Structure 1
Amino acid sequence: MSEATKLNLAAIADRYAAAWLSHDPQAIVALHAPDSAFQAHGRSGEVKGKAALLKEFAGVFELYPNFGVEVRRLLLGDKHWTLDWDLTFQPPGKEPRKFHALDVVEVDDAGLVTRKDTFFDFAQAKAALEAK
């Protein structure tokens, strides 16, 4: 893979991360191809298409108030990246919480996301959601 491809993919990944950090489901979905798919493995089944993605991503921000990301590492490949990260959130009036996650994101030739798979550390996610 050429350095130019890596740099372009890094820029695409940065734009995608910025959309998530803006907490704006429409901004996120705008970076997806029309028939893009998403699955949060262990939490939900696959959703496909922009309308379903919009609903799913809005639900993420409801489930995880004050959603944030702590990046562990970003690995760039050929039309995909893998993000090793911690999902952070803070329910109103409670302490901040986090758990480990891993994303595999595929893009098409135009740089639009065609598929995003998110894998969670289920035990950590459950503990974070159930904490008092």
Structure 2
Amino acid sequence: MTATAQIERPLSVAALFDRYHVGWETKDPDLIASLHSDDTVFALHDGTEPVTGRERLREHCRQLFATFDFTQEMGRRLYGDDHWVFEWTMLLALTEPGGAPFVARVGMLDVVTLNDAGEVVRKDVYPNGREMHGAFVRAGIDR
């Protein structure tokens, strides 16, 4: 294989996951959006409307990172030819209405689909509804 052919070959799914995960770990909306297709769909399955399009996703991530302080605890990763599944735990820093800080643990599952160019065309995020609801109730957040 020539050097040119190596450069043109898309990243493996696992390598793309690693790069994508850096965007979430560093809370970099530009990096995250750059790895999505123009017509991407980002669906958080919590009753909110999906976000459609790269630019709307970039803005959604900016707002998300400005609103919530969270980190990720890595779980299983499963790779296919055009997708990955990622189990993780969100560690969400919140404050009770009386002012006491706490960290909520919310189980999450991501299902990410890629196109032939190696771009994310769809990301479905499934939170543990009971854990998320409990965290928001404890923090006095109405969602």
- TM-score by structure 2 length? 0.80
Question: Aligned residue for 1:46?
Answer: 50
Deviations 1:24-83 (A, max 9, x none): 111110111111111001241111111211122223223421x21112200101210000
Distance 1:125 1:39 in 2: 16
Deviations 1:109-131 (A, max 9, x none): 22111110001111100112232
Backbone CA RMSD of aligned residues: 1.7
Question: Aligned residue for 2:84?
Answer: 81
SS in 2 for 1:82: strand
- Cα gap change, 1:43 to 1:61, in 2 (>3 Å): farther
Query: What does 1:18-29 align with in structure 2 at a 5 Å threshold?
Result: 18-29=22-33
Identity %: 32
Higher alpha-carbon Rg: 2
**Deviant stretches of 4+, over 6 Å:** none
SS in 1 for 2:94: coil
Distance 1:112 1:69 in 2: 22
- TM-score by structure 1 length? 0.86
Distance 1:43 1:11 in 2: 31
Q: Give the gaps of 5 or more residues in structure 1.
A: 1-6
Q: Give the gaps of 5 or more residues in structure 2.
A: 1-10
Distance 1:16 1:129 in 2: 27
Deviations 1:80-120 (A, max 9, x none): 00001111121366122220111000111221111100011
Distance 2:104 2:61 in 1: 19
Question: Aligned residue for 2:101?
Answer: 94
Query: What does 1:1-132 align with in structure 2 at a 5 Å threshold?
Result: 8-65=12-69, 67-91=70-94, 94-132=101-139
Question: How many pairs were matched up?
Answer: 125
SS in 2 for 1:39: strand
